[in-house]
Structure 1
Amino acid sequence: MSKIQFLIFPLDMPNKNIKRQLIIQAAIEVFGKNSFRDSNISEIAQRANVAEGTIYQYFKNKEDLFFSIPVEKTKEFCKELDLHLEGISGAFNKIKKFIWYYLYFFRMNPEYGRILLLEMRVSKSFIKTKTYSSFRKSTSRILEIIREGQGEGVVRRDINIYILRQLILGILEHIVTRWLLKGEKYDLLEHCDEVNRLIFHGISLTKGPHELR
């Protein structure tokens, strides 16, 4: 198996953090290809170009490493999302950008998508892990945007914002899951406009999706 893909780290990142990130990335590639059951620590160590014992300095076991992946990827998702939302005004435009970035993120990280959506989310252990808590926190951004839209008077106030959050995330997760099961044979981003029309038609007070820029 070839070594892990080339990664760029900040110049001031401690060596131990770099090694941990290399292990995480190697685990994403191995778990994403083979599934949790069919993967082993030795293969991940080989992929990361570290000794097998080194992995146990950072993670208790294979399951601990497996459930640590979304914690790291959620941090990455939230950090990049905030950068994409920076300078964008208006709740509708922010929701539109959120939808685009969600699909773009998984288009660029299909191995992680397989881990999270095809394996982890159906695991009975999922809600008992730090992963679940981290994953829930990552959805708070869309709640903030919905509240902002209600404050602007463009999102209906009679809508339960928590149900709306689940509706948006549920649609996006279904689209990504279907894309993964279909072998990633088409561009995920082709669904952006369709999802926008569906969401905005249901929540809008004053604007239609054709007015969004």
Structure 2
Amino acid sequence: MTTKKTEKYQLILQGALKVFAEHGYHRSQVSKIAKAAGVADGTIYLYFKRKEDILISLFQERLGELVGKFHDHVEGVGDPAQALRKVCEIHFSELEQNPDLAYVTQIELRQSDLELRKAIGSALKPYFQLIEQIVQQGMEEKVFQPGLNIKLVRKLIFGAMDEAVTSWLISGRKYSLSGQVEDTLRFFLHGMTGRPYA
């Protein structure tokens, strides 16, 4: 894409994020997205065939950026426990700083049809793989207990963080999501090391 086209594409995604968060995916018309993006209705269709494609691209782009941050911050961290801390910190702080993305990720994804969930789920695969690598490294270095079911542990880690974000949203964001990092990490590490986390 040319620079001008890239700018419009990003404007449409940003507009869609705002509209989806405010109105919900199913009640968001393309005209509302166009207005929020500051483009003509017809411009949307130069980039996306249908509204579903906007949601899929939104997840792929924003989650891709998030996964990039995870890798940038975890790369070079030798201690698996500290790597897991970084993952938890970024997961909570990034969504806390972008409540629209948090809302769309936590609420709208669960209301989408199976086809959409599959397409969006593929954007999360690199994140899942990163968590699994941390668990694997922890077992190899004898920081974590041997014989952990890596895929199950990854589901439990992601699921716990996911639920923490959802609860924060449902509460009306009345407390700090980033403030939950220490207790969350303590819970994870106690289960994986078999020792209380100090």
Measured against the shorter chain, the TM-score band is over 0.9
Partner of 1:125: 114
Q: Look up the equivalent residue of 1:78 and give its one-letter code.
A: V
Cα separation, partners in 2 of 1:126 and 1:105, compared to 1, 3 Å:
farther
Partner of 2:157: 168
2:95 to 106, 109, 117: 106
Alignment TM-score, normalising by the size of structure 1: 0.86
1:158 to 143, 147, 152: 147
Structure 1: any 5+ residue segments left out of the alignment? Answer: 1-11
- Native 8 Å contact 2:109 2:117 kept in 1: no
Q: State how far apart, in whole Å, the 1-side matches of 2:127 and 2:78 are.
A: 21
2:135 maps to 1:149? no
2:67 maps to 1:67? no
The residue correspondences of 1:134-213 to structure 2 (distance < 5 A) are 134-204=123-193, 208-210=196-198
Structure 2: any 5+ residue segments left out of the alignment? Answer: none
Shift in Å at residue 13 of structure 1?
Answer: 7.0
Cα separation, partners in 2 of 1:209 and 1:13, compared to 1, 3 Å:
farther
CA deviations on 1:156-178 (whole Å, 9 max, x unpaired) are 12210100000001110100001
Q: State how far apart, in whole Å, the 2-side matches of 1:36 and 1:73 are.
A: 16
Q: State how far apart, in whole Å, the 2-side matches of 1:13 and 1:97 are.
A: 35
Partner of 1:52: 41
Q: State how far apart, in whole Å, the 1-side matches of 2:165 and 2:122 are.
A: 21
Q: State how far apart, in whole Å, the 2-side matches of 1:138 and 1:87 are.
A: 17
CA deviations on 1:92-147 (whole Å, 9 max, x unpaired) are 11011111111111101211121121121243335664212122332111111111
Q: Look up the equivalent residue of 1:32 and give its one-letter code.
A: A
- Greater helix fraction, Structure 1 or Structure 2: 2
Cα separation, partners in 2 of 1:129 and 1:56, compared to 1, 3 Å:
farther
Partner of 1:32: 21
Q: Percent identity?
A: 31
Q: State how far apart, in whole Å, the 2-side matches of 1:39 and 1:127 are.
A: 16
Q: State how far apart, in whole Å, the 1-side matches of 2:117 and 2:180 are.
A: 33
Partner of 1:80: 69
Q: Look up the equivalent residue of 2:71 and give its one-letter code.
A: D
Q: State how far apart, in whole Å, the 1-side matches of 2:71 and 2:169 are.
A: 26
Alignment TM-score, normalising by the size of structure 2: 0.92
What is the RMSD of the two structures over their aligned residues, measured on CA atoms?
A: 1.9
Q: State how far apart, in whole Å, the 2-side matches of 1:14 and 1:74 are.
A: 22
